Structure 1
Amino acid sequence: MFRTFLIAVISLLIFGRCAQQVTPTGGKKDSIPPGLLESNPVNKTLNFKGKVVELFFDEYVIVDNINQKLVITPEADNPYSYKLNGQSVRLTFKNEFKDSTTYTLNFGDAIKDFAEKNPAKNLKVVFSTGATLDSGRVYGTLKDIRTSKPIFDALVGLYNISDTLDIAKQKPYYFSRTDSSGNFSIENVQTRNYRLIAVDDKNRNMLYNAKDERVGFLNNEISAGADSVSYLLDMFLSDNTPLKVQRTLPRVNNYAIVFNKSVERVAVNFVNKDSLPYLLENPTTLKFFNVEPHPDSTIVKLTVTDSLGASAEFDQKIAFQAQRGKERQRDPFSISTEPESNKPLTTDFRYKFVFNKPVKKLGADNIVLITDSLTHEPLSTFPQTWNATHNELVITAKSFAKDSVKWDLPKGSIISVEGDTLPKTLFKHPHLNEENYGQVQGRLVNADPAVKYIVELIDEQFKVIATQFSNTYTFRYIPQGKYQLRATQDLNGNGRWDTGEAKAGLQPEPIFFMPDKFLLKANFELNDINIILPKNQ
């Protein structure tokens, strides 16, 4: 009997220890975030002199990336370590906090419950190392100037006023981050004047990287009072890094110069009275072509201008690789068109041929526009314009075709500077049926008569569908879809939007949106689709 009892007890112990413990299934999912029971110091404590901050919760919690998510303002430059102990989190700082200063510890979503990972909401501790709490507040909204969309998780900073302020090297004194609606609020700040500046801060180092981070700022100082106004900052990309040659790519057939950023235009001056064909292959790459005869090396002076209008000059030696073997391997000669093949054409149309190499010879009498079986019009009968590097040809033409239009390019009709040609190529476009398209008409209300404007029709992905340079506008032959209008003040009259530059205190050219999108249907005309500009813009 005793032996049987003993075996049963041992079996229970063995299987009890081996059984896996699991969370009970079923029941309602816990969606309640952890609640803060108390903190040490207590919120809004005065004369705090300690180096430890501890939080106590009503359930077990975890810590998630607290070094990234905990925001301490003003910038303390005070390293800390943390310890998680079940239902509490303890922060131990290396140094005491600066005297007579109000500090805010905003934890964001760094602390979550153990079971369902629900983040604690609005978790913040405020204390002062002096006898009073600072009561200043600065709040507002950030949006992208080109899309008018709110910007999430951008750094908004209050900077001490200085003639030598450099946001690429100096962190803000107070700061906050925007929510999903682009809103920010910086609270418990000293009541005085600051510079208000926002940056994307993608790498979260609290410094401005002009290469790939947007920036927004106010030119004037702001007052951080208890009754502050709401500020709206337009964010824009402004790569003001100096232009330089990043690398060169010498080959047998060509020599490429790659710049560190996009350039708008390049002027080339051949020093030795030599000459080589060249083109701007893409916004960052200038390519020279090796054609015979030429010396072993060619010296050129380059004047390069970026999108901000800043120019730089370079002396560059062009030296091709030596040829090995009998045949030189050339890059294939290619062509593209604007509009693309199969896109409809109106009766009066503008057409562009784009080549990947400069063109040496064009047989304009052999290239024909075919509108029907009997009508073949040579390219030579239409007005033509080449660009400076002879790789883009613009044609204005008219066609009365009923169904489609074709460009027929026979083999050998176009010869590049490298002596190669295109195979026989045919570009076909349907004739545009007006019943399948709509029209939008409107005007700029409150437009300044002394200022030029650029009005753009954009789709839901902010792609520009059509552009007009007038206070009144009519967009014809627009496909059915949802659209929006935006107007740019072209302050310098150069026909494009110009960005700003934070270091120079230069704001971008203002952009105004028609706030609501509209649906354009086929064979419909929408009138009085107006953009109402603010008065005294």
Structure 2
Amino acid sequence: MLRTIVFAILVLFFFERCAQQVPPTGGKRDSIPPNLVESNPLNKTLNFKGKKIELFFDEYVVVDNINQKLVITPEADNPYSYKQNGMSVALTFKNQFKDSTTYTLNFGDAIKDFAEKNPAKNLKIVFSTGTSLDSGRVYGTLKDIRTNKPIFDALVGLYNVSDTLNIAKQKPYYFSRTDSSGVFSIENIQTRQYKLIAIDDKNRNMLYNAKDERMGFLGKTITAGTDSASYALNMYLSDNTALKVQRTLPKVNNYAVVFSKPIENVEVTFVNKDSLPYLLEPGGTNLKFFNVEPHADTTLVKLKTLDSLGITTEFEQKIAFQAQRGKTRQLDPLTLTTIPEANKPLTNEFTYKLILNKPVKTLDDQKIAIISDSLTNEPLNAFKYTWNTNRNILTIAAKSFAKDSVKFDIPKGSIISVEGDTLAKTLLKHPVLNEEDFGVIRGRVTNADTAVHFILELVDEQYKVVETVYASPYTFKNIPQGKYFLRITVDKNRNRRWDTGQIDKDLQPEPVYYLPDKILLKANFELNDINITIPEEK
């Protein structure tokens, strides 16, 4: 009997296990986005006087960051709350919309289906609080002027024309955002004149932050609805904020003046016949003075700076180092970098730069040697070399007959900084360039007025400049195998650098053009007749 009962329990346990439900696996993924089946008000409604907008879909939906993604044009300054209820979404606004105005609500990807989060496509509602819909449209493309690449999710705005327009404080009246191809379209606009301006708007406050946001603008005003052309805008950084001394960093050994933005150059004048070594550090924001010469407790200097917009600013600055504690100073180490970088190949005739992080007090050009193939050892004084103004960059023009390698032997004590420290023994080695491992690109600048000055650059796929020339025909020699772009800048002020635009002066940046096709260069190949045209200015 007991055996029968045990057997019955086991059978029941087996069938219970078999009857347990298991979620199904696999199946086709839902890739269909939700469709709008009805709205209140209906799309393109006239004489709308309400404060509530409702959207009804064919499936359950969720709302995703609608406060950031919903674009209402013109900018309404009308706070709203939203409520999600299964297959519908309702927006309730605090105030009524402005009378006799056409509004567009573009939801982007703010509303998605519940299951797979597929966003509703092209979800947009247009209505008018007046008797007609505005029909004006402005469209075009946006790209970065330096890379020629389209810019995604930038704000393109139409601003009311005004002599006091300040995009750092004023929001656009109509606006749109660019898609992944840099295309923008602003629709249902009142037919009147506007200023067309694009900004990065990284923090999505619809205001321009010149310190870290790119911008671009059309020089002329446009009339929406009558101008049918597509507009091409270029974006660029243009920090037009006033240069200031942001802070100072006093230490025992040095004193740094930190500027609010990078500067290109600085002239230093010592007022009270004092003198201190100094240098502008890489990046252009830190001007560092070194505490090494006998000087007064406080040194007064006059600074004349030049920024990237060509604007000069003058300051008076007091330099006061921290008092020393203890018998010895703790110095920042002396460091060295080179151009070309270590292990990069050199031609037999080359220019070489030693870059130090402190000004140099003494250099023994008899101890420093250039060694060719470990056989020929020549002292630095056998070659021509020059210092920069601050004596921290040494430029060497040299020639060797090496077949395998060139070395720079820098013994300890051969370079002594203004603080009295030196480098450890340093050996820099570079292979000799084998021309068969590299290629050549030749061509000319066509259709260029002989009076036009230009900057022709070969840049790699990361837009890093490989080589620069300023004349036509051109030759780029000893170029590593790879893919490149050819970029030409019209150098209007002949300063051999690209100059950005300034909206407050209605000044456009210097034009930049690219060869349409990417250049593919192979080792031991020559590419000839790679010509680039400077288009005529309209």
Alpha-carbon distance in structure 1 between the residues aligned to 2:233 and 2:470: 26
- 2:476 — aligned with what? 475
Q: Which amino acid aligns with 1:401?
A: A
- 2:427 — aligned with what? 426
Contact 2:151/2:181 (8 A) holds in 1:
yes
Q: Which amino acid aligns with 1:330?
A: L
Which structure 2 residues correspond to residues 3-402 of structure 1 after superposition, within 5 A? 25-225=25-225, 228-282=228-282, 283-402=284-403
Q: Which amino acid aligns with 2:215?
A: V
- 1:9 — aligned with what? none
Contact 2:104/2:125 (8 A) holds in 1:
yes
Q: C-alpha deviations, 1:170-207, integer Å up to 9, x for none?
A: 00000000000000000000111110000000000000
SS of 1:503's equivalent? helix
Q: C-alpha deviations, 1:26-82, integer Å up to 9, x for none?
A: 321110000001111110111111111111101110111111111011111111111
Alpha-carbon distance in structure 1 between the residues aligned to 2:342 and 2:26: 59
Alpha-carbon distance in structure 2 between the residues aligned to 1:306 and 1:315: 17
Alpha-carbon distance in structure 2 between the residues aligned to 1:185 and 1:128: 19
Shift of the 24–97 alpha-carbon distance from structure 1 to 2, 3 Å rule, reads: farther
1:531 Cα deviation (Å)? 1.3
Shift of the 373–402 alpha-carbon distance from structure 1 to 2, 3 Å rule, reads: same
SS of 2:381's equivalent? helix
Contact 1:265/1:305 (8 A) holds in 2:
yes
Shift of the 355–57 alpha-carbon distance from structure 1 to 2, 3 Å rule, reads: same
Residue 443 (1) aligns with residue 455 (2): no
Of stretches 115-124 and 326-335 in structure 1, the one that deviates more from structure 2 is: 326-335
Shift of the 113–374 alpha-carbon distance from structure 1 to 2, 3 Å rule, reads: closer
1:471 Cα deviation (Å)? 3.0
Q: Which amino acid aligns with 1:84?
A: Q
Alpha-carbon distance in structure 2 between the residues aligned to 1:259 and 1:290: 20
- 1:10 — aligned with what? none
1:314 Cα deviation (Å)? 1.2
Alpha-carbon distance in structure 2 between the residues aligned to 1:143 and 1:356: 37
Contact 2:38/2:56 (8 A) holds in 1:
yes
Q: Which amino acid aligns with 1:433?
A: N
Contact 1:447/1:471 (8 A) holds in 2:
no
Shift of the 23–444 alpha-carbon distance from structure 1 to 2, 3 Å rule, reads: farther
- TM-score, normalised to structure 1, is 0.95
Q: Which amino acid aligns with 1:128?
A: S
Q: C-alpha deviations, 1:488-517, integer Å up to 9, x for none?
A: 001000011111112221111100001111
Of stretches 197-206 and 92-101 in structure 1, the one that deviates more from structure 2 is: 92-101
Alpha-carbon distance in structure 2 between the residues aligned to 1:449 and 1:441: 19
Shift of the 46–274 alpha-carbon distance from structure 1 to 2, 3 Å rule, reads: same
Contact 1:135/1:226 (8 A) holds in 2:
no
Q: C-alpha deviations, 1:257-278, integer Å up to 9, x for none?
A: 1111111011100001000000
CA RMSD of aligned residues (A): 1.6
Q: C-alpha deviations, 1:333-355, integer Å up to 9, x for none?
A: 11111111111111110011111
Contact 1:60/1:113 (8 A) holds in 2:
yes
Q: How many residues align?
A: 520
Alpha-carbon distance in structure 2 between the residues aligned to 1:109 and 1:407: 59
SS of 2:505's equivalent? coil
Contact 1:453/1:471 (8 A) holds in 2:
no
Alpha-carbon distance in structure 1 between the residues aligned to 2:376 and 2:296: 48
Alpha-carbon distance in structure 2 between the residues aligned to 1:316 and 1:397: 41
Contact 2:437/2:523 (8 A) holds in 1:
yes
Contact 2:266/2:305 (8 A) holds in 1:
yes
Contact 1:144/1:150 (8 A) holds in 2:
yes
Runs of 5+ consecutive residues of structure 2 not aligned to the other structure: 1-15
Of stretches 365-374 and 400-409 in structure 1, the one that deviates more from structure 2 is: 365-374
Shift of the 267–21 alpha-carbon distance from structure 1 to 2, 3 Å rule, reads: farther
Alpha-carbon distance in structure 1 between the residues aligned to 2:40 and 2:215: 37
Q: C-alpha deviations, 1:413-446, integer Å up to 9, x for none?
A: 1111111111221111111110100000011122
Alpha-carbon distance in structure 2 between the residues aligned to 1:152 and 1:210: 19
Contact 1:298/1:319 (8 A) holds in 2:
yes
Residue 417 (1) aligns with residue 418 (2): yes
Contact 2:275/2:293 (8 A) holds in 1:
no
Alpha-carbon distance in structure 2 between the residues aligned to 1:454 and 1:339: 22
Contact 1:138/1:186 (8 A) holds in 2:
yes
Contact 1:112/1:119 (8 A) holds in 2:
yes
- TM-score, normalised to structure 2, is 0.94
Shift of the 32–22 alpha-carbon distance from structure 1 to 2, 3 Å rule, reads: farther
Shift of the 101–22 alpha-carbon distance from structure 1 to 2, 3 Å rule, reads: farther
Q: Which amino acid aligns with 1:193?
A: Q
SS of 2:306's equivalent? strand
Q: Which amino acid aligns with 1:395?
A: I
Q: Which amino acid aligns with 2:322?
A: Q
